[in-house]
């Protein structure tokens, strides 16, 4: 078990759940290089802690999840090469998040704009409060998203809806975000719901299943359908020989709750 406080984020553990809270409330929890570096370090610590089985990411306060990248740092970029390096480095952090071998949830308690929405899109599930606002306002700054938004968004909601958001830069309210599949749930207390949601998930599913389901979906989305089926078959074959799979089948036949060990 651990509780780690960085300069701009708090990482604490509640049983099998880790909660990462970004806390720059005076800047609407905007992402600067320091915050991004701390997120990267926090993800490493979460992976190293064997007792962690799921991760929640949220923002401190009730105004913003993350209201975007820190513009005061973006305006200091001096060359296309420097901007490209920043884009690639943040994309790598968000890729590490997306590839964690356990479920991840973004709890969107306010504005999730630009880089903040890109952070949320790197999570498996998004749970929003009714007052949440989501969008990509980069076009209003003469920019484009650089942390994965142009790639993750159309894969999630389709090219047409993605282009509507990306080209207009408009803020989407929570109910519309739900209807287009941008978020999975809208709840009055999204953090409490996320904790209950994950606890219920973890008590019923096997940890190996979570990781391989994520891998199958992720690799399949980057492949054609036929190759995706082969990826699924490979991973199905792999997990079918695990101790957890044998325990799951035995527990089903014996009409009892399975005890999974991640083996």
| Whether 49 is catalytic | no
Which residue among 5, 138, 176, 215 is the active-site one?
138
Distance CA 236, CA 209 (A): 9
Q: Where are the beta strands (DSSP E) in the chain?
A: 3-5, 9-14, 17-22, 54-59, 64-66, 104-108, 111-113, 125-128, 133-135, 172-173, 185-186
Contact in structure between 39 and 9 (CB atoms under 8 Å): yes
Catalytic residue (choose from 118, 196, 230, 247): 118
* Among 239, 240, 238, 243, residue whose Cα is nearest residue 258: 243
Spatial separation of the C-alpha atoms in residues 31 and 43, rounded to whole Å: 16
Q: Alpha-carbon distance 256 to 38, whole Å? A: 43
Is 5 an active-site residue? no
Contact status, residue 168 vs residue 162, Cβ threshold 8 Å: no
**Among all residues, which ones are annotated catalytic?**
118, 138
């Amino acid at each position: 078990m651990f509780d780690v406080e960085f300069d701009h984020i708090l990482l604490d553990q509640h049983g099998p759940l880790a909660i990462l809270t970004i806390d720059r409330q005076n800047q609407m929890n905007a992402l600067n290089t320091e915050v991004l570096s701390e997120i990267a370090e926090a993800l490493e610590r979460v992976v190293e802690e064997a007792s962690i089985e799921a991760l929640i990411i949220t923002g401190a306060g009730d105004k913003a999840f993350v209201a975007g990248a820190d513009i005061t740092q973006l305006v200091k970029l001096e060359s296309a090469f420097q901007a490209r390096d920043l884009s690639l480095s943040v994309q790598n952090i968000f890729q590490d998040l997306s590839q964690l071998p356990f479920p991840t949830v973004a709890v969107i308690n306010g504005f999730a704009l630009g880089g903040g929405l890109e952070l949320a899109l790197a999570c498996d599930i998004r749970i929003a409060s009714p007052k949440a606002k989501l969008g990509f306002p980069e076009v209003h700054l003469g920019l484009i998203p650089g942390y994965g938004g142009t790639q993750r968004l159309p894969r999630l909601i389709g090219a047409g809806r993605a282009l509507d958001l990306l080209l207009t830069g408009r803020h989407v309210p929570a109910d519309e975000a739900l209807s287009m599949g941008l978020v999975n749930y809208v709840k009055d207390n999204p953090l409490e719901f996320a904790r209950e949601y994950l606890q219920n998930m973890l008590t019923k599913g096997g940890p190996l299943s979570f990781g391989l389901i994520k891998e199958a979906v992720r690799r399949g989305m980057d492949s054609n359908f036929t190759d995706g089926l082969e990826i699924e078959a490979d991973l199905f074959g792999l997990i079918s020989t695990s101790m957890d799979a044998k325990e799951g089948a035995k527990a089903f036949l014996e009409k009892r709750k399975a005890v999974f060990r991640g083996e």
